[in-house]
Structures are given as structure tokens and as C-alpha cells.
């Protein structure tokens, strides 16, 4: 069973006050952290800033909750979280299943 989490985040004004070099360094460390957790597949998206309050979102796919939990434990220790450069606004957790499973025939 494949589990999926869609995580919306908001980059704080402090993030945008960093130089481009500092932001790239922070992102680089964050992506290294993602690479350290190969059991969680992460895709990063830049969202439309005009239609909502979240500025970016992640799609995380994984097989076991334990690996997902360990991934987030590592993220909590990341500098961007300690200095509040970003906050997680919403997490939608679900599992993938074919649309035909669970339907009632009428």
C-alpha cells in the first residue's frame, strides 16, 4: 500500500530577507536531508502565490509510517525549522487505491 502526504508550507518573511546565496545553501542542505531518507520519495512544488497562503508544497510517497516519521524527525532538526524560515500549514495524509475498489454497484 502506498501512502501519500501532501504538505503545504509557507516561507516566512525572514526567508526572503536572506541573500540568494544563503537561501540556496539552506535548500541544498534540505535536499541532502531528503536524499538521506530514500524510503520517502519527495517531490517539491512551487505553488501559485496569488491564489492561496501557502507558497510551496511537497508530495511525499512512502510505504511505512515509521520511515515517514523518521523523515519528519530529521526535518524538525533542520536549520530552516529552528529559525522559522518556513512553517508547515497543512498536511493531507492518505493512501493510494484504484477508484474501482470500494465502489457500490447500483
pLDDT digits 0-9 by tens, 38-48: 999 999 888 76
For residue 95, the model assigns a pLDDT of 87
Residue range 53-100, pLDDT digits in tens? 667 889 999 999 999 999 988 888 776 666 778 888 889 999 877 777
- Lowest-confidence pick of 5-9, 11-15, 100-104: 100-104
What are the φ/ψ torsions at residue 58 (nearest 5 degrees)?
Answer: -115, 145
Sketch out the chain's domains with CATH numbers: 3-95 (3.30.70.1030)
The angle subtended at Cα 27 by Cα 8 and Cα 19, nearest 5°, is 110
Instruction: Give yes or no for residue 21 having a pLDDT over 60.
Output: yes
What pLDDT, on the 0 to 100 scale, is given for residue 106? 55
* String of DSSP letters for 24-78: HHHHHHHHHHHHT-TTEEEEEEE--TTSSS--EEEEEEES-HHHHHHHHHHHHTS
| DSSP structure class, residue 88 | E
Q: Output the pTM of the full model.
A: 0.77
CA 79 from centre of chain? 15
Amino acid at each position: 500500500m502506498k501512502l501519500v502526504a501532501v504538505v503545504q508550507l509557507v516561507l516566512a518573511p525572514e526567508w526572503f530577507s536572506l541573500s540568494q546565496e544563503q537561501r540556496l545553501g539552506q535548500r541544498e542542505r534540505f535536499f541532502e536531508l531528503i536524499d538521506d531518507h530514500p524510503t520517502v520519495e519527495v517531490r517539491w512544488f512551487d505553488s501559485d502565490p496569488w491564489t492561496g497562503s501557502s507558497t510551496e508544497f511537497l508530495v511525499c510517497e512512502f510505504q511505512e509510517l515509521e520511515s515517514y516519521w523518521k523523515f519528519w524527525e530529521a526535518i524538525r532538526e533542520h536549520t530552516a525549522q529552528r529559525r522559522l524560515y518556513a512553517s508547515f500549514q497543512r498536511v493531507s495524509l492518505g493512501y493510494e487505491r484504484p477508484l474501482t475498489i470500494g465502489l457500490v454497484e447500483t
